[in-house]
Structure 1
Amino acid sequence: MEYNKPLNYIKDVLENMPTDWLGLTTHRLDIYDEELAKVQFLDQFEILFNDHNSDASALRELPTAYDYIRLGHPLSCVLEWTIANLHSLKPENVISFSSKTTPVLAILRKNLLDNKNTQIIYTDALPDFFDAEIIKNVYGYQFELKKVEKASAISAFDGSTVFISQQDGISTLDLNQNIDFFVNLHGDSGSILLVNGEENESYISEIQHVRRRETIAMTPINCLTALNVLTGKSTIDNQTSNVEDDTRAERSRSKASVLNLIKEITGVNTKPLLGSSGLSIQYAIMMGLIHDAQEKHKGKAIKFVVPPNCYGGTNDQARRVAACIDNVEIVDLHVDGDHDMVQSIDSVLAKIAAEDAIPYIIAEIPTNPRVEVPDLIQLKEVLSATRTTSTGETAIDPVFILDQTFCPNVLFLGEGKILSTIRTISYASGSKFPSGGQCTAGYCVGNEKAEALIQHIEMHLQLCDNEATALQLEILDKQLPSMNQRIADAYQNTREFVNFIQETLPAAKINFVSEELAEQGFTPSVFSLDLPTKGNTHEEKEAYKRKLNHRLINMMITKIPNESKYCVSYGQLKGCYWTIPATSTQGTTKEGDKDYIARVALSANMDLERHKEVFLDFVKTI
């Protein structure tokens, strides 16, 4: 019965698990230790297992597994722990993905940087999405492909051996010592990667980071499905073809509806694309543009222009792409505080033009976390300007990649709009306003000038198997119709709270949009708060301000625990979210570019008067 012991326990866990395990997309940072992500959760989960304790109350007390669901979550951790137990592996050696391609790409990326050989072995046929030529030519990854009759026939290889298995069930594998990595594909649910052997454990953190930046973990609902199959509560076989056909038909209906909603919201008639997360979409944009540039401007340098203090995922992902491709480089774009976005873009584009390189600009409007909006007429003029190379030829015009997550309701791209005449692609993280925090799916849309680029972007979204899942589409279909009203209502709460803070604590510096910008449609519901400080030196002042940040947030989350969260979220259906960008969203940003200020995000559904009362109590402590 030893084999069944973990499965028997998991059956009980699934009966008693908290509903949040299926529904949450973000978690509280005050009960989360990033250094112990997953490990802390599983250490305490294993204590419960050894004590035969699957009580609902005990499961609710488990610490946060990850701060953000696309990176991992309780059910992905439980699934990985269960599979590890069945194969006598460490839990960290098992990694679940919503994507079926990305685990292979993660291994190829590390071996490219380590200059190590890779062979990819399969039995029947390669998955449809695996385009070997594009992976070699665009991503720059090198590998050998080899077909075998069975896994036991795989022999030793000087490098890494990756075995791709398309078997339907999650069954016990023969961990052939000549196989370094098993990638088990599981239909529409995603894949499970098993890292075999101590010599390959150095790959784990790198693979986890690829999951963090270029895709998402297997979603909670799909992890639950996999666990139900493992424990015998359901089987792959009993999911009849009729059920699968119904699911595909519903997915197709939801997708068509969501695409139409995005067209309405953005005011653009071109084809939108839907990814499993905002970063999944961004990765497809980057790789699609690189592919397009290789075909249209062969051999020319590609420059991704990125603000160094923007959201850490954007910053980190861009630099990770550049690290793998020789002719791709990151150029810093300073956009906040003392730097003007328009002037910075003008200066950067002039330099790139002189080099006869290809400029791709990634920028947030409003900026994060300073919530600044550039002069849009000047922005249009700078992006539209014709520039020349050092030899006097016309330079390649830029593509403007607009992260519109803070204000997805603003019409930038449609006919007659401010960016309609510049090649522009807009994208948004779906975990914010589009879904109200109920799923991570993201979307992008190009204007008519950029329509020709969408084909390559879609190709890479599909190659990476990063399209939105069926449930994500259902959620977006339900939530998108109310998005613009929720944005308007949340803005009203935010404006009222900002005005209250300015009256109550006038020495504080608040970064928020002006009334004039709000009238133009820029109605975010997030602001940053630079608290007043004191001290004799810069170091003393900075230390005092950081201490105040934590005091304020701790007061809010302890006095209003049902609404105020220490969390990186934004655009949720209810509550108020507090974070310090330097320690959360800017986690991988260079230290000198980090913002040690408080960022506050409000929703349309919250007790604003109670938040004012607590803030007033905080002011009295200063």
Structure 2
Amino acid sequence: MKASKVTTYIENVLANMPEDWLKLTTHRLDIYNEELAKTEFIDRFEILFKTENFEKAALSELPTAFDYIRLGHPLSTILEWGIAKLNDLKSENVISFSSRTMPVLALLRKNLFKKKDTQIVYTDKLPDCFDFQALKQVYNYNFELKQVVKAEDVSEFNGSTIFISREDDLTDININSNIDFYINLQAELGSVLLVNGAQNASYISEIQHVRRRESIAMTPADCFSALQDLIGQPSTTQKKNSYETNKSSVINSVQEITATTSKVLLGSCGLSVQYAIMMGLIDEALEKHKGKAIKIIVPPNCYGGTNDQARRVAACIENVEILDLPVDGNNDMVQSTNKVMEQVAEEDAVPFIIAEIPTNPRVEVPDLEKLREVLSKKRTNAYGKAAIDPVFILDQTFCPNIQFCGEDGILSAIRTISYVSGSKFPSGGRCTAGYCVANKKAESLLDKIDKHLELCDNEATALQVEILAEQLPSMNQRIKDAYKNTREFVNFIETTLPEAKINFVSDELAKEGFTPSVFSLDLPTKGSTDEERESYKRALNLQLIDMMITEIPNESKYCVSYGQLKGCYWTIPATSTQGTTKEDDKDYIARVSVSPDLDLELHKKVFADFVVQI
């Protein structure tokens, strides 16, 4: 009876759900309470379930599920809730992944720090992506492997037991009490992880953080298919046999946009790509530079996902260390790079530099000629021998149209890997998939990166590739149109509120091709102390954003994203994109991203009204 009620309700929800649940990477950002981002959706959904309310209007009014699609969204949340209901578990004990291997990596990471033994038990042959040798040698994870005939054969173990199953039925899972974590592989859809027992509840937030930083939740389309399977319905998600055609189209588009001929790697999100880059380069360094320290050089105030992930990688591997690269504000990227490279050379270490150009959120571009000189400078170590040359890992999400990696590119003489978050301009906000390429000097590194993208099972899904194939051909034109709107909006703000400080590219940089459609806004403030001035400015930021999204609800959103097809997005980096960044390095300013399609005159009017109020 209980199972029937749950499956019937899910069936009605799928029939009545808002279209946005399938099509957007973010849902109802106008109903977003950051403190309750992981709980509010499911609490409200539970009330609808109890009252048997599945009306589209009621479902549309549900708040944001989690904070971004990487970590979770309405359909992944409902899938996890449904599996939990059918198996008498708490919904937070069920976590879906687009990847089949990342839940295993999440558990191994946690146990690495707990210094706890782990056994991985499985029945049937596992997919090829389970490269257990690399997990030990490169990721520094420790575990035992054991094959059994069935789950009931799993015996007691002094540590954590992970059981990997390929059974399809998730409606009635009988978890052996000796199993701590049950991972169900869902073929091409991904996997579902069940946390068994109160003693393992402390793992949940760590597992979610891996999903947020190194992978993604099962995608909306795949969750829809999984939910249909859960309630015994045939999948209505269209399966097209055009994956290879779409992938070929994406590769051609990326190579044309970037002026490269290297392999093009497609990941489930920008951070999935970055994780593969990190682990691939570390794998290469362990092989080519045995015993040498590896230094990951990263700006302390860059995008929080980049910053956090790099530090998380370093925390797991003994000879990997983070070095800060101050780049924004009063710091010059070129000078900072030279200083840190001299230090790394002296220590005879292996340097990997991660940088955003333009920087986020200050939208600054370094002197590229001088940066090239600093990166290509021949240095010696403390023993007078040639130092190891750096690999420059470039996040060019803000300007994916710049051909840094082309044969004539500004960085052609330096080993350079470029990657882009696909949730921005490449897909127009329609999916999270990202891509990376390399210049001639670095293209040999892509095989190792590809190996770890496959190991993590973080490759782009077929639907993501289809969306990129649709959107990439128009990307450069959308970038031009969005920049035009952004420049006009910036000029208007400078005229209307000249006391405000705006961080945006100069006209000279725009002529060189740097045409981002995002700017940061430091509003004028007042007060007799630094604390009062900072407090006043922060309140004013929120007042502006609230006014914009209230007055223009169809276009202005409170969102961290960029490169959408329509509208205008506002955020405070310190509370969103910079996330886990150290407090002193955070930027409490307004960041605005403008699309090629919006009512610019209305945005100007509302901003002018705001200026009158202050």
TM range (shorter): over 0.9
Identity %: 69
Quote the offset at 1:251 in angstroms. Answer: 1.1
Quote the offset at 1:233 in angstroms. Answer: 1.5
Query: Is the CA contact 1:288–1:457 (under 8 Å) kept in the aligned structure 2?
Result: yes
CA distance in 1, matches of 2:34, 2:315: 25
List per-residue Cα deviations over 1:65-116 (Å, max 9, x = no partner). 1221111000000000000011100000000000000000000000001000
CA distance in 1, matches of 2:495, 2:34: 37
Given candidates 502, 512, 515, the residue that maps to 1:520 is 512
List per-residue Cα deviations over 1:323-357 (Å, max 9, x = no partner). 10000000000000100000000000000000000
CA distance in 1, matches of 2:92, 2:33: 17
Are positions 1:444 and 2:474 aligned together? no
List per-residue Cα deviations over 1:40-81 (Å, max 9, x = no partner). 111111111110111111111111112211110000000000
CA distance in 2, matches of 1:82, 1:461: 30
CA distance in 1, matches of 2:564, 2:243: 24
CA distance in 2, matches of 1:38, 1:345: 38
CA distance in 2, matches of 1:19, 1:616: 34
Are positions 1:3 and 2:3 aligned together? yes
CA distance in 2, matches of 1:579, 1:2: 43
Quote the offset at 1:168 in angstroms. Answer: 3.2
In the alignment, what sits opposite 2:187?
187
Quote the offset at 1:174 in angstroms. Answer: 1.1
Residues 3, 16 of structure 1: alpha-carbon distance in 2 compared, 3 angstrom cutoff: same
CA distance in 2, matches of 1:373, 1:337: 11
CA distance in 1, matches of 2:128, 2:601: 55
Local SS of the residue matching 1:182: strand
In the alignment, what sits opposite 1:291?
283
What are the residue-to-residue correspondences of 1:554-569 with 2, within 5 Å? Answer: 554-569=546-561
CA distance in 2, matches of 1:38, 1:550: 22
What are the residue-to-residue correspondences of 1:388-407 with 2, within 5 Å? Answer: 388-407=380-399
Query: Is the CA contact 2:20–2:27 (under 8 Å) kept in the aligned structure 1?
Result: no
Given candidates 389, 406, 413, the residue that maps to 2:405 is 413
Query: Is the CA contact 2:26–2:64 (under 8 Å) kept in the aligned structure 1?
Result: no
Amino acid at match of 1:132: F
CA distance in 2, matches of 1:29, 1:140: 39
Local SS of the residue matching 1:501: helix
Query: Is the CA contact 2:161–2:179 (under 8 Å) kept in the aligned structure 1?
Result: yes
Amino acid at match of 2:123: T
In the alignment, what sits opposite 2:610?
618
What are the residue-to-residue correspondences of 1:190-589 with 2, within 5 Å? Answer: 190-234=190-234, 247=240, 249-589=241-581
Structure 1 length-normalised TM: 0.98
Query: Is the CA contact 1:38–1:77 (under 8 Å) kept in the aligned structure 2?
Result: no
Query: Is the CA contact 2:573–2:588 (under 8 Å) kept in the aligned structure 1?
Result: yes
List per-residue Cα deviations over 1:486-536 (Å, max 9, x = no partner). 000000000001011111111110000000000000000000000111111
CA distance in 2, matches of 1:505, 1:203: 49
Query: Is the CA contact 1:79–1:227 (under 8 Å) kept in the aligned structure 2?
Result: yes
CA distance in 1, matches of 2:244, 2:119: 36
Local SS of the residue matching 2:437: strand
Amino acid at match of 2:450: E
Query: Is the CA contact 1:32–1:66 (under 8 Å) kept in the aligned structure 2?
Result: no
Runs of 4+ in 1 over 4 A off after TM superposition: none
Quote the offset at 1:28 in angstroms. Answer: 5.0
In the alignment, what sits opposite 1:91?
91
Query: Is the CA contact 2:38–2:67 (under 8 Å) kept in the aligned structure 1?
Result: no
CA distance in 1, matches of 2:185, 2:12: 26
CA distance in 2, matches of 1:610, 1:517: 28
CA distance in 1, matches of 2:38, 2:577: 19
Query: Is the CA contact 1:508–1:531 (under 8 Å) kept in the aligned structure 2?
Result: yes
Query: Is the CA contact 1:533–1:544 (under 8 Å) kept in the aligned structure 2?
Result: yes
Query: Is the CA contact 1:27–1:66 (under 8 Å) kept in the aligned structure 2?
Result: no
Query: Is the CA contact 1:97–1:216 (under 8 Å) kept in the aligned structure 2?
Result: yes
CA distance in 1, matches of 2:571, 2:380: 44
Q: Return 572-581 or 58-67, whichever deviates more.
A: 58-67
In the alignment, what sits opposite 1:82?
82
Are positions 1:22 and 2:14 aligned together? no
Amino acid at match of 1:423: R
CA distance in 2, matches of 1:38, 1:218: 16
CA distance in 2, matches of 1:435, 1:449: 28
CA distance in 2, matches of 1:26, 1:510: 27
Quote the offset at 1:29 in angstroms. Answer: 4.5
Query: Is the CA contact 2:298–2:354 (under 8 Å) kept in the aligned structure 1?
Result: yes
Amino acid at match of 1:180: D
Query: Is the CA contact 1:28–1:566 (under 8 Å) kept in the aligned structure 2?
Result: no
In the alignment, what sits opposite 2:130?
130
Quote the offset at 1:38 in angstroms. Answer: 3.3
Are positions 1:595 and 2:587 aligned together? yes
Local SS of the residue matching 2:521: strand
Query: Is the CA contact 2:117–2:142 (under 8 Å) kept in the aligned structure 1?
Result: yes
Query: Is the CA contact 2:29–2:63 (under 8 Å) kept in the aligned structure 1?
Result: no
List per-residue Cα deviations over 1:583-605 (Å, max 9, x = no partner). 11011110000000000000010
CA distance in 2, matches of 1:181, 1:251: 33
Amino acid at match of 1:367: T
Quote the offset at 1:171 in angstroms. Answer: 3.9
CA distance in 2, matches of 1:551, 1:42: 29
Q: Which runs of 5 or more residues in structure 2 are unaligned?
A: none
Structure 2 length-normalised TM: 0.99
Quote the offset at 1:167 in angstroms. Answer: 2.0
Amino acid at match of 2:383: T
CA distance in 2, matches of 1:164, 1:35: 34
Amino acid at match of 1:387: R
Amino acid at match of 2:190: G
Q: Which runs of 5 or more residues in structure 1 are unaligned?
A: none
Amino acid at match of 1:144: E
Amino acid at match of 2:542: H
List per-residue Cα deviations over 1:421-470 (Å, max 9, x = no partner). 10000000000000000000000000010011000000000000000000
In the alignment, what sits opposite 1:43?
43
CA distance in 2, matches of 1:372, 1:277: 24
Query: Is the CA contact 1:213–1:317 (under 8 Å) kept in the aligned structure 2?
Result: yes
Amino acid at match of 1:82: G
In the alignment, what sits opposite 1:107?
107
Amino acid at match of 2:347: E
Local SS of the residue matching 2:164: strand
CA distance in 1, matches of 2:348, 2:567: 49
Query: Is the CA contact 1:356–1:389 (under 8 Å) kept in the aligned structure 2?
Result: yes
Q: Return 374-383 or 162-171, whichever deviates more.
A: 162-171
In the alignment, what sits opposite 1:178?
178
Aligned-pair RMSD on alpha carbons? 1.2
Query: Is the CA contact 2:120–2:145 (under 8 Å) kept in the aligned structure 1?
Result: yes
Query: Is the CA contact 1:577–1:601 (under 8 Å) kept in the aligned structure 2?
Result: yes
Aligned residues between the structures? 614
Quote the offset at 1:13 in angstroms. Answer: 0.5
Query: Is the CA contact 1:424–1:447 (under 8 Å) kept in the aligned structure 2?
Result: yes
CA distance in 2, matches of 1:87, 1:222: 21
